[in-house]
Structure 1
Amino acid sequence: MKRLVSIFLVFFMTFSLNGCNKKEEKDKNKTTIKMATFYSEKDQGSIYKEIVKEYEKQNPDVKVELITDFSEETKINETLSQKGDIDIIGLKRTQLIEFSKSGYLHDLSKIVESGDLTNRLYKICLAYGKYNGKVYGIGDMPNTIELFYNVDMFKKYGFNEPSDFNELMNLCKKFNSKKINPITIGAMDGWTLTTLFGMITAQTSGITELTSIYDSDIKSFEKVKGINQAFDLYGKIVSQGISKDSIDINYKQSVDDFIKGKAAMLPAGSWTVNLIEKSKPAGFRYDVFEMPIKFIDNPVSMVSGTGGQILSIPSNSKNKDKAEKFLQFLFSEDAQKIITQKGYFAPLMSANVGENKLKSKIKTHLEICDDNSIMIMDNMDEKMTEHTTRVLQEILEGRVKSSEAWERILKATFKK
């Protein structure tokens, strides 16, 4: 009996080792590409896990190593300028501009042309990856900036959706007369104010000029079209519609105030839908305006939006061909449906089907987005963004006049 057991164990061990050797041999024959995303593993990073799994299933000769939470500036710099250990990397808009200027990013124009992505993807996704006439990346999860409103509150008082700036101001006055806070915003998180400001600058200024003068001297920025008008409009909205106490609440608190009926409107990215849906009380009804508010008569762009993370291929990647093939798969129906199934908008227009009324409106707004819809802060360097955010907060607090805002920002940014 012992002899039989021994023979069986020897046979089992031999079979197992043989299987392991075959697996190791098989893995050696695979090409490994590395993808780094700044998304966390629990959130959007989990979407990429599923996409990678599906890609490996369809391409057994390739292994995709996914790295999440890859956002540290030093590591990104080292990867792009020295190491060459990443084949696909997720970047912010300002990073894309800086690294493409330094020659660290691979031109994806051929991928866009060969896959007819210009006509198949939302323009905002391609706009985020463009610089100096070339495409260095593609946005992966587009969003628009919206004005959410309390449907029942509007209905109760017989108020209609405002179509332009004057109607918005009149609406704020009406809510104030009812002792209702017109607009809630989490100004403690300064980016919420830059989001609101971006809605305005998309119409007054666009982004083309700011892109062309990126990293230029102070004189170039002094002449930016419509920027002072944008601060003037922002100042009036703050004065008529936003309480100074907003400086003491953050983004999540502003959403909480909105769903509890403490304010009539909430300016925020369309990604806020997910948070509202998780938090709203039973019976709470909300929507976004059918058409974006016209802040000026002849807007440069009607809608402000974001492209999400920008996917790029480093110039020093050792597997550019395989990386390009993965990107082509990423923007295919098979991969894009994974994004929509998780409740996000996909860059591929045809993948966003069967949405409810609210998401249909947001989708329409996404279709309106163009190259000038890029959020203004996503086209400013870190120093200018910091000072702009602070000045927007100071205007809300009543410590800075909107007429002095841009001059103050430029002086602080270019101070030596």
Structure 2
Amino acid sequence: MKRDNNIYIISIILLLVSLSGCALNKKEKNNNYEENNDINIYVDTKDEVSIEMIQFAIESYKNQKEGTTVNIKAPVNKKDINTYLKDTKEIDLVVTNRNNILDLSKQGLIADLNEFYKKNDINNRFYNIITSYGIKGDQYFALGLLPFTIQIIYNEKYFEDKSIEINNATLEELIKLNNDKDVKVPILAPESIDAMEIISVLLEDNLVDKKQLENIYEGNVEKYNNFKDIQVVLDELNKLTKEGYLTKDMLEVKDEDVLSYIDKGRYPMAIVASSYNNDEERLNTKVLGNYKLIGKEKTPVVFMDALIAVANNCKDQEEVIEFMKFIYSDEFQMKISEKGFVTGNIKAMEDNKLINSNLKSDIISSNMSNIPYIYSLPPKIRNEVKSEMYNILRGNYSGDEWKKIIRDSY
């Protein structure tokens, strides 16, 4: 799962080829192929772990459900998904991030899943964070796939040799320690999440009212101008930059090899998505359980870069719901847990003895307030916020970044 554009493209191509082969095999075996039920899934994520899980789900469903073919449709651009969902019945399920789910729900292009939640007892079988990702107002429009957190991993021997009490240091001090030695901090996360976005999410903690931000989603200019929380995050980012804790060159996006590099001491520490750190036994690598940032204790932040929703125009909602029921059954959730995926299903999590205790605790205790603020922003505003972060790191801070972001977005 190298973090590279090519990996994402290759994953989708392999998935398409694999499923096409399955469809051909079924056609040869079944003279009534034309009557088979097809499910078309629009997969719009660059999270390699989620793509791998979707592929496993499709293969498992195909083995259980004779006569059903599941097809993947990869995105070309955002206009295509809107066109598909408005004008055709080609798309049955959508896999995308929360930003797009909020957008599609506002346009009435994805189905209300309240009844699905009730009939399948979702709220009692899954932790709150899984369902929080898919809710807007009092309606459920999607379900999260695989939750992950951001971990600070470090080489224990490196800090012991330098007599540094890492558990007493703040995160900004640890980053500055690397900066002072001209050592970059590696970062490993899904390609769709920018490195500075991750820093800002760790920074924002409880500075942003997520519920209010969701309520004004795609609102008018006045509503966004009156929402000051993200400017506070940018102010804190500027403060850390001026004090020398953050620099424009401090982060280095890496692939999974960085996990072994940390263990061998090539890097003192790294910022890593938990979905890549499978708790393989490593001699010198530890996860920093608790730390402070800008004087505040770490609080859980749970990411999910892929959610699944049902298209309002789907041609056979009954068949689609059967597929959803399969994915979110306790049996399948336990199966993917056994394969190493971290799921928010209560039964699967309780039976998983290998999961990192900090990660498990974060998922269990999290709710709407633990969703990163970036997922409640319209894509255009999210991109502008990211741009302003890098401007601040380059020394261009005015204190009116949020007003500029809204002006440029509208």
Distance verdict in 2 for CA 1:196–1:131, change over 3 Å: same
Q: 1:97 corresponds to which residue? A: 102
C-alpha displacement of 1:180: 7.0
Q: Deviations over 1:68-104 (max 9, x none)?
A: 5346323311221111112222122122111111111
SS in 2 for 1:24: coil
Between 1:282-291 and 1:110-119, the stretch displaced more is 282-291
Q: State the SS of the aligned residue for 1:220.
A: helix
365-374 or 148-157: bigger deviation: 148-157
Are 1:382 and 2:388 counterparts?
Answer: no
Counterpart among 267, 271, 283 of residue 267 in structure 1:
271
The unaligned stretches of length 5 or more in structure 2 are 1-25
Residue 288, structure 1, aligned to residue 287, structure 2: yes
My pick for the range that moved more, 284-293 or 249-258, is 249-258
Once the two structures are superposed, the pairs formed by residues 232-251 of structure 1 within 5 Å of their partners are 232-238=235-241, 239-246=243-250, 249-251=252-254
2:304 partner amino acid:
G
CA contact (8 A) 2:41 2:72 kept: yes
Alignment partner, residue 12 of structure 2: none
- Residues 202 and 224 (structure 1 numbering): CA distance in 2 closer, same or farther, change over 3 Å? farther
- Residue type matched to 2:153 in 1? F
| Equivalent runs, 1:81-230 vs 2, <5 Å | 81-156=86-161, 157-162=163-168, 167-171=170-174, 179=181, 181=183, 183-185=185-187, 191-224=194-227, 226-230=229-233
2:54 is equivalent to residue 54 of structure 1: no
Structure 1 window deviating more from structure 2 (27-36 vs 91-100): it is 27-36
Between structure 1 and structure 2, the one with the greater Rg is: 1
What residue identity is the alignment partner of 2:197? T
* 1:77 maps to which of 74, 78, 82: 82
CA distance in 2, matches of 1:224, 1:296: 24
- How much does 1:296 deviate? 6.3
| Structure 1, unaligned runs of 5 or more | 1-18
Cα distance 1:392–1:107, how it changes in 2: closer, same or farther (>3 A)?
Answer: same
How far 1:191 moved relative to its partner? 0.7
Name the amino acid aligned to 1:228: Q
Give the AA of the match of 1:93: R
What CA distance in whole angstroms lies between the structure 2 residues aligned with 1:294 and 1:310? 29
Bigger shift: 332-341 or 259-268?
259-268
**Offset, 1:312:** 0.6
Please give the alpha-carbon distance, in whole angstroms, between the structure 2 residues aligned to 1:42 and 1:141: 11
- 2:374 paired with 1:373: no
CA contact (8 A) 1:190 1:389 kept: no
Residue deviations 1:270-307 (CA, integer Å, cap 9, x gap): 23426x97xxxx966323332364656699xx322222
Cα pair distance change 1:304/1:153, threshold 3 Å: same
Do the aligned residues in 1 keep the contact of 2:171 with 2:293 (CA within 8 Å)?
no
Separation in 2 of the partners of 1:20 and 1:266? 49
Aligned to 2:311: 314
Partners of 1:204 and 1:225 within 8 A in 2: no
TM-score, length-scaled by structure 1? 0.78
Question: Which deviates further from its counterpart, 67-76 or 303-312?
Answer: 67-76
Kindly indicate whether the alpha-carbon contact (under 8 Å) linking 1:203 and 1:303 is maintained by their aligned counterparts in 2. no
Which range is displaced more, 324-333 or 36-45?
36-45
Map of 1:413 onto structure 2: 409
Percent identity, please.
19
Of stretches 29-38 and 367-376 in structure 1, the one that deviates more from structure 2 is 29-38
Q: Does 1:24 align with 2:31?
A: yes
Which letter maps to 1:78?
T
Q: 1:175 to 1:92 in 2, by over 3 A?
A: closer
RMSD: 3.6
Q: TM-score, normalised by structure 2?
A: 0.79
- Map residues 303-342 of structure 1 onto 2, 5 A cutoff: 303-342=300-339
| Per-residue Cα deviation, 1:240-261 (whole angstroms, up to 9, x for no partner) | 43444337x4344994875664
What amino acid is aligned across from residue 104 of structure 2 in structure 1?
Answer: F
CA contact (8 A) 1:35 1:66 kept: yes
SS at 1:385 equivalent: helix
Give the 3 Å change call, closer, same or farther, for CA 72–125 of structure 1 in structure 2.
Answer: farther
Q: Deviations over 1:185-217 (max 9, x none)?
A: 589998110011112224211411111111123
- Residue 219 of structure 1 deviates from its aligned partner by 3.0
Contact kept? 1:331, 1:347, Cα under 8 Å: no
| Alignment-derived partner of residue 22 in structure 2 | none
